[in-house]
Structure 1
C-alpha cells in the first residue's frame, strides 16, 4: 500500500501544489501593540478583526513553522458552528440564558466565515451542507436520540437538528448497518488549508505582519522571547492550541491529543452512484472512538479518527507523519462504514494534534493584569469555533464590552493535567476502553451505552 504519509503535512497542502514557502523570520527586536503567538485560525482571526476595527494597530504574529502548519491546515474540513462540550460545566457560576446565547453566537460563525471568504476572495472549496452522524448499533442510536433531545432542551432550533430513521439515513449515504442518523443543518464543508492560507494573506493585506520560522522560548507580561529576538507588546495572545505544551512552562496546560486522516484516490462516478453522498455531507459516526469524513471537491473521501491518541510527555508529530498501524485502522473504519470502497486505493495519510483542556471545554480570555490572553481547547471543532474566539479576543484586547465578552466561556482557566505517566495512562486507557465498548455494542443488541465507555469518561472526566 503506497500512501504518502508526510512531506506536505497534509493532503490539503498536496492538493494546493505542496508545502508553502516560508515567510521571513523575525530579524530584530521590536515593539508592537499586540503580539500573537501562532498563525493558525485562532491567531489569524484575532489579527483580522483587530485590523478591521483599528487599522493603526501594530500587530505581529509569531509562527514557528508557517501560517496554517498545525491543525488549521490538517483538519477534516468541518465548519459546523456546533457546540461540542458539556453544557453543565459552563453554567456553573453563570446561567442558562448565557449558555444559550453562546450557542446562538457559535451557530452564526458559519455565515461569518463564508462572508469573510467571499469578501476576501478566498476560494476554499466551500459548500453549504449538513453534518450527518450515523448510528450503526442500537446503543449508538440511543445516544443520538439523547443528544437530539438534549439539544432541543437547550433551545437549539428544531430546524437546526433532526433525528432520521434507517431508510432516510441510507437514502443520503449508503452506510452499512445504519440504524438512523442525527442531522445537524447549517454547516459547510471546506478545504481547510486553502481557507487558512487565504486568511493569512488577507491579514497581511490588512497590515498585520507574520513572522515565520521563529520559535517562542518564553512568555512574560509585556515580553515574548524568541530564538531570533524579543517582541515587546502591551497585549500578548497565546494562540498555539495543540502545540501549547511545547512552550516552556506550559507542558501540562493543554494536552495535545492526536488525530489522523487518510484520503482515497478519486472515486469513479459509478461507485459514487452506489454510495450516494450527493449532498456532500460531513459524515461522522456515533461510536465512542468516533470518525469524521468529507467528500472532497475532487471526488475523494477524506476519513479521520484517532490514531496514536497521545504521545508520552505531550510530544507532537514530525510534520504530520503517521504510522502504518494508524492508516490500517482508519482504512478498516472506512471499509466498515462503506464496504463499497474496499477496492479504492489510499493515496495520503497524515496526523496532527488538537488542544484539550483538563475539563475538555473550550476557553477564551485575557488577563487584564498581565496583558496575556489565550483561546483554544476546541476539542475537534475548531474551524468554526476559532472564528468566534478571534472576534472575542479582538473585543477583549480593544477593551470593548460586547455580547461576546460576557459569554460563559470567557475567562475559564481549568486546572493543569496530571504529570506523567498519569496523563499517558489515562488517555491510552480511555481509548482502549472506548474500543472495547464499541466492540461490545456492535456485537450486542442492547440499547444501553457500554459501562466500559462510562468508566473511560470517569477516568479522564471527559
Structure 2
C-alpha cells in the first residue's frame, strides 16, 4: 500500500482494521474516519458512554484530508469576522472565533491526555506581506508587524510586514489522526475500515457489506461527501497539493527562522501554507490545481507536476534555497457554496464540515459540538453561529466547472498583477 502523503508514509505500513462483516444496530453511526468523525466519537464516548457508536471508513482512518493536510491546527475561519458580525451580530461572531481559538489548545490538551505524540508546537502563525498591495491589505489588522518584526519570525525575501496570530499550532496530522483512532477504539467505539458507504438516510447507513441501523447518522466526509448518493452538489472537492523537502541544514534554518515552529503563509490571493516539521523539513502547500468536472475525485488528481514545480520555485524565491523535494502529494478538501462551515443535527442526521482547508482545529470543535447535539446537551457550543447553517447547493455542471476554474484563474491573475515589475 502506497501512503498518500509524507505524513502517512512516515508512520510506516498501516494495517487497516477489519471491515464491517454484516448488518448491525448501533445508537450512533459515524460515516468517515477522519478528524470530524473521530473527535465526535471521542467526545461521545466521554460524555455519553451508554451510547453504542460505530465509525465506518472507506479506506483507513486518516486516509483523506486528516492525513494529508498542512498540519496547521489554527483558529482561522473562512468567513471574515466582519461578515459574521453583519450576519449574526458581534457577540456571536466573537464567540465563533473564540471557540476556534480554544480548539487549538484543546487539540493539544487531548493529544497529551491520550499520549499521542503528534509533534504539537503552538508557535502561532505569520502571514507575510511581500508586495505593497499585500501591505495595504494588512495595515490596520490586529497583530500587524513591521518588516523587521515579521522578518525576525520568518526570514523570507522581500518582507515588508506581516500579521501574527498566536492561535495556531504546527503538528504531524497523521500521528494525530491515527492516535485518535486508537484512543477512540480503546473507549469501546467500533471502527470499521475498508467499508464504503453508498447511501445514508434517516436511521440507516447502506454500505458495501451490510446496513448499519442507527438512531443518529453522522455525515463526516468533508471533500468525499460528493461520493454519497444525493450529495454531488453539497460541497465542491477542490484539490490542495503539498511538497516536503529533505531535512534542511542548520545554516538554512538560521536564515529562515520559524524557531518556535510558527506556521507561515503570505498575503497573496492564491493560498499557500507551510510549516517547519519536527525533523526540520519544510512542508509546504498551496491551491491552484484544477477543479474536475462533475466533482470527480481520483487518485491521479493528487499529483499535478506543474503545481509541484510552482511550490518548489516559491520556496526558492522566498528563502533562497534549492531544496531537494522528498515527497509530493495532494488531496481534495470540501468547499461549501458560501464558504461557511457548518455543524448540525436534523431528523436524526447530523453533519459537520466544509472547512475550506482549515479543518484541523475546527473538526475538534465540530466533534465536541456534535457530541452535545447528539446527547441533547444545550451548551455554548450548540449556540455558535455555524450550528444549523445550511449552505445553498453548488450550481449544476457545466456551470460549476466553469465558475470554479474561472475563479482559480482570476486569483492567479490578481497575484501576477500585484507582483512588483522589474525596473
Please give the range of the TM-score, normalised by the shorter of the 2 chains.
Answer: over 0.9
The partner residue of 1:9 within 4, 7, 22 is 4
> Residues of 1 paired with 2:302 and 2:391: CA distance?
31
Does the residue aligned with 1:388 lie in a helix, a strand or coil? Answer: helix
Does the residue aligned with 1:108 lie in a helix, a strand or coil? Answer: helix
Residue 320 of structure 1 deviates from its aligned partner by: 7.4
- 1:387-421 CA-to-partner distances (Å, cap 9, x unmatched) read 00000101110111111111111101111100111
> Residues of 2 paired with 1:162 and 1:220: CA distance?
46
Matches within 5 A, 1:79-158: 79-87=73-81, 89-91=83-85, 94-145=88-139, 148=141
Q: Which residue of 2 aligns with 1:375?
A: 352
Is it true that 1:405 corresponds to 2:382 in the alignment? yes
The partner residue of 1:283 within 264, 270, 278 is 264
> Residues of 2 paired with 1:133 and 1:423: CA distance?
30
Residue 422 of structure 1 deviates from its aligned partner by: 1.1
Q: Which residue of 2 aligns with 1:71?
A: 65
Does the residue aligned with 1:352 lie in a helix, a strand or coil? Answer: strand
Aligned-CA RMSD value: 1.6
Q: What TM-score comes out, normalization by structure 1 length?
A: 0.89
Does the residue aligned with 1:443 lie in a helix, a strand or coil? Answer: coil
Does the residue aligned with 2:166 lie in a helix, a strand or coil? Answer: strand
Structure 2: 5+ residue stretches without partners: none
> Residues of 2 paired with 1:291 and 1:441: CA distance?
16
Residue 345 of structure 1 deviates from its aligned partner by: 0.7
The partner residue of 1:245 within 220, 226, 248 is 226
Q: Is the 8 A contact 2:288 2:408 kept in 1?
A: no
Is it true that 1:350 corresponds to 2:314 in the alignment? no
> Residues of 1 paired with 2:178 and 2:237: CA distance?
23
Q: What TM-score comes out, normalization by structure 2 length?
A: 0.97
Matches within 5 A, 1:139-218: 139-145=133-139, 148=141, 161-218=142-199
> Residues of 1 paired with 2:286 and 2:312: CA distance?
10
Instruction: Give the 4+ runs in structure 1 shifted more than 6 A.
Output: none
Does the residue aligned with 1:292 lie in a helix, a strand or coil? Answer: strand
Kindly tell me the number of residue pairs found equivalent between the two proteins: 422
Matches within 5 A, 1:300-311: 300-311=281-292
Q: Which residue of 1 aligns with 2:239?
A: 258
Q: Is the 8 A contact 2:239 2:302 kept in 1?
A: no
> Residues of 2 paired with 1:379 and 1:237: CA distance?
19
> Residues of 1 paired with 2:363 and 2:162: CA distance?
27
Residue 82 of structure 1 deviates from its aligned partner by: 2.5
> Residues of 2 paired with 1:91 and 1:111: CA distance?
24
Residue 87 of structure 1 deviates from its aligned partner by: 3.5
Q: Is the 8 A contact 2:122 2:166 kept in 1?
A: no
